[in-house]
Structure formats: C-alpha cells, structure tokens
Amino acid sequence: MYNPYTEDLKSKRNPRGSALISYLINVGLVGQSRQLPVSSQHPINVRCMEDMMVVTVQTDLYGTGKLVKASDLTLGPRLCRPSSQSTTTTVIFQQPLQDCGNTLQMSSDWLIYSTMLTYNPTAARNSPIIRTNAAVVPIQCYYPRHGNVSSNAIKPTWLPFSSTISAEERLSFSLKLMTDNWSAPRTSTVFQLGDIFHIEASVDTRNHVPMKVFIDRCVATLSPDVTSSPSYDIIAQNGCLMDGKQDDASSAFRSPRPTPDRLQFTVDAFRFIGSDNSMIYITCNLRAAAQNQVPDPLNKACSFSKPRNIWTDLEGPGDICTCCDSGNCLSSGQSRGLFGSHRWVKRASEQEQKLVRLGPMLVVGVDRSQARGVTQESVSVELWVLVAVITLSLVVVGLGIVAGVLFKKHQPRVVQK
C-alpha cells in the first residue's frame, strides 16, 4: 500500500554517470513503507521502521559498472558511517530516527523525519583526479501523528485536569509546500531554476479558539541552522515579502486568504551564489493572533506591486505597509519575536508563535552542455533550411527563364505586307 503523499523523483542518468543524482525518496507509514527494489533503476532502498530507518545503497550507484567506495558514503548532517553489515555490492546504514542530525517536521497529520544520503568521491591514492560526481539524495520517512504506531498497547496516564487543559490549548503550526494549483501538499522537494515555491503556513486550531496566522519573518539558509551564513530574508518586518522587490522575482502573498488559519505565498526558486546545486532550508516565524485581529503594522501580509510601485496589504489598508521600506514596523516596547535576541514580552504568548522549518529543498540549474547542444543543433537546422530555400528559389527562377524562352520560340510571327 503506497502512501498517497509520497513519490519518487528519479535521477536523470547519462551513460557516463556524470549526472548528479538528485531524486527525493519519500517513504510511507510503518508497515506501509514503499520499498524501492535495489536494482539499476533504483540503487537506493529505504525502510522506515518503528524507531529507525534502514538505507541500503547499491555500490554501482550510477549504473555504469564503476563501484563507489563505502567510505565515500555518509548519512545525515553528522556524516554517520555505514554499518558493519555492508558488503562489496551494497552499503547499509541502520540508524535511529533521531540520530545523524535528522530533522523532525510536524504537520497536522504527519511526523516527518528528514535526512540525506551524501556521496562525496575521493581520489585514489596518488591520483589528482576523480571520475564521478558527488550526489545528495534527500530522504524522508512519514509517520502518522494520530493512532498507535507501536505494537505495544497504550497505557493510560492520569494527569491533573489543569495539565490536560494546558496541553489541549497549545497551538500547532506548520509550513508546507503545495502543488501549483494549491489543491494538495507537494510531495517532491526538487526544483529547477524558473520553478516557483508554493508555500502555505497554517495553525491548527481544532483544540483552541479560532485564530489567524501571520508570518513575521522567513529566512533561507543552506543548513537547518537559521543563524548560519549565508542567509537571505524572504519575509521581514512582520509580514513584508521583501523578495517581491527583486527585479527578477514575482513573489507575493496569495489573495484572498483561503481561511483565517492559513496564509499562502509564492517565491521564485533560487540558489545561493557559488553553489551549483543548493540544498535550501526556509525557516519562518509563524504567529497566531485573534481571528478578529484588525490589520496593522504588526499584523499584516504585504506584497510589492511592481506596476504600481507600492506595497499592498492582503486584507488591510496599504498604508500599514509603508514601514516595509522604512524598517520601523515595530513600535517601542514590541519584540522582534523568536528570530531576534529577545522573545515576546508576555510569556503566555510564547505558545502563540513558533519557528517552523521547511526543507531541505534541492534547487538545480539547467545543464549547460545540454543547452549548448540544443543551440548548436538549432543553428545547424537553420542553416540547412536556409540552403534549401535558396536552392529552391534558384530552381524556380531557372524554370521561369526556360519557360519564357520556349514561349517566345513557339510564338507565331506576324509578317507585315
């Protein structure tokens, strides 16, 4: 049984194995995980167990007959090494879900453990060259949040009534990629330059009074650490979509807001300078306010309109967005939230905001050699077409001249008396 929220985006191979492996493996539930058979078509197999993941890698990773070294393969940001069960033809990683620097994301229905398999080829001894490209393969395991995922029976634990109320009143924030038509979550996290990120922020209010979600800030980084460098502000100043001011961007909040507890926006795919293939993380400070909150400089969702050269708010008057350029959207006594050096002033409101991370997302560029080949082929075709047109024109002109001569030759002569 396949998980409807998963898919496999397979790598584009070429005969020499020079293409970067860049496909996403999303596997499903415990007992329902999708098994990718270890073969030339699927050189990587992932099993999502109850408390661990088992990753099996075929050493003929590129399907060219050239085997990769087990020492060149690692799992996760902490570079976990293969297990002793590995052989000359397969490399096996068997790690607990929380190890190797794996990240955990939570949505309203799923617990998602994310990691990545990294292949970093090293040169042979006394050799200055390598014959294979590096590869990064994002891997995700999905687990249902509701229901018993263990074979052991659930033992009830009685808690004081006040503690139960406190737990039920907590808000659950989420940040997820959506399909182009916003109809469902997007299962693939692999993009090309020119694609668009469709992102939805939401707050689960099923066990809480109705709330409205706002996005105070979103930062893109190359690692899960939001304070790492380089970084890029997508949203700043409590709801200003700054990326929309870039000349080559069309980023904007989606209007109208689908529901008060959801907020959607688009961002043109990008990668950081100096990186041919960027693994991008987007971390956002999501905040919930009362559902009847009136838009103001602190509670807004502003997009930049290039044709009008002004900021516009999704729901309120445009003048609340003027601070997006001036940078003074916060009045005295207000904190910058979880990104800044200070948290919110009221301790109770800490439950009303959260840093939520999206990613990793793999952004790849266009194959320059392929683009060059297409261009050269197009030029050749154009030259042949030009030669054919000229030849045909000469033939037509020649036939016209011959026809004219024959016509004059057979025309009867008029003899004057």
**Does residue 8 fall inside a structural domain?**
yes
List the CATH number of the domain containing 7: 2.60.40.3210
Q: Which of 145, 160, 183 is the last residue of a domain?
A: 145
The answer to whether 213 and 286 are in contact (CB under 8 A) is yes
Specify whether 251 is located in the same domain as 318: yes
Specify whether 120 is located in the same domain as 25: yes
pLDDT in tens, the chain (417 residues): 223 333 333 333 333 333 333 334 444 444 333 333 444 457 888 888 888 899 999 988 888 777 888 999 999 999 999 988 888 899 999 999 889 888 888 877 788 888 999 998 887 665 554 666 778 889 888 888 765 545 444 444 443 333 333 334 568 899 999 999 999 999 889 898 889 999 999 998 776 788 999 999 999 999 899 999 888 999 999 999 999 998 888 999 999 999 999 999 999 998 888 765 578 999 999 999 998 999 999 999 999 999 999 999 999 888 899 999 988 887 644 545 555 533 333 333 444 899 999 988 988 775 544 333 333 443 444 445 455 556 666 766 677 776 666 666 665 555 554
**Does residue 49 fall inside a structural domain?**
yes
Residue labelled with tokens 């009136």: 294
Specify whether 86 is located in the same domain as 207: no
Specify whether 108 is located in the same domain as 181: no
Q: CA 368 to CA 209: how far, in whole Å?
A: 53
Collapsing DSSP states into helix, strand and coil, what is residue 375?
helix
**Does residue 359 fall inside a structural domain?**
yes
Specify whether 140 is located in the same domain as 204: no
Give the list of residues 6+ apart from residue 232 with CB closer than 8 angstroms, or none.
219, 220, 221, 243, 270, 272
Specify whether 129 is located in the same domain as 18: yes
Q: CA 325 to CA 314: how far, in whole Å?
A: 17
Specify whether 140 is located in the same domain as 174: no
**Does residue 386 fall inside a structural domain?**
no
Residue 336 corresponds to which tokens in the numbers above?
């910058």
Angle at the Cα of 31 from the Cα atoms of 25 and 37, rounded to 5 degrees: 45
**Does residue 214 fall inside a structural domain?**
yes
**Does residue 377 fall inside a structural domain?**
no
Which of 240, 219, 239, 237 minimizes the C-alpha distance to 228? 219
Strands (DSSP E) contained in 120-274 are: 135-144, 172-177, 190-192, 196-204, 211-221, 231-235, 252-253, 262-268
**Does residue 83 fall inside a structural domain?**
yes
Split into its structural domains, the chain has a count of 2
Specify whether 176 is located in the same domain as 235: yes
Residue 244 phi/psi, 5-degree rounding, is -65, -15
Tell me the residue range of the domain where 9 lies: 1-145
Q: Which of 333, 349, 367 is the last residue of a domain?
A: 367
Q: CA 10 to CA 240: how far, in whole Å?
A: 37
**Does residue 103 fall inside a structural domain?**
yes
Collapsing DSSP states into helix, strand and coil, what is residue 17?
coil
Q: How many CA atoms lie within 13 A of 88 on its CB side?
A: 2
Q: What is the pTM of this model?
A: 0.52
Specify whether 257 is located in the same domain as 363: yes
Q: How many CA atoms lie within 13 A of 239 on its CB side?
A: 28
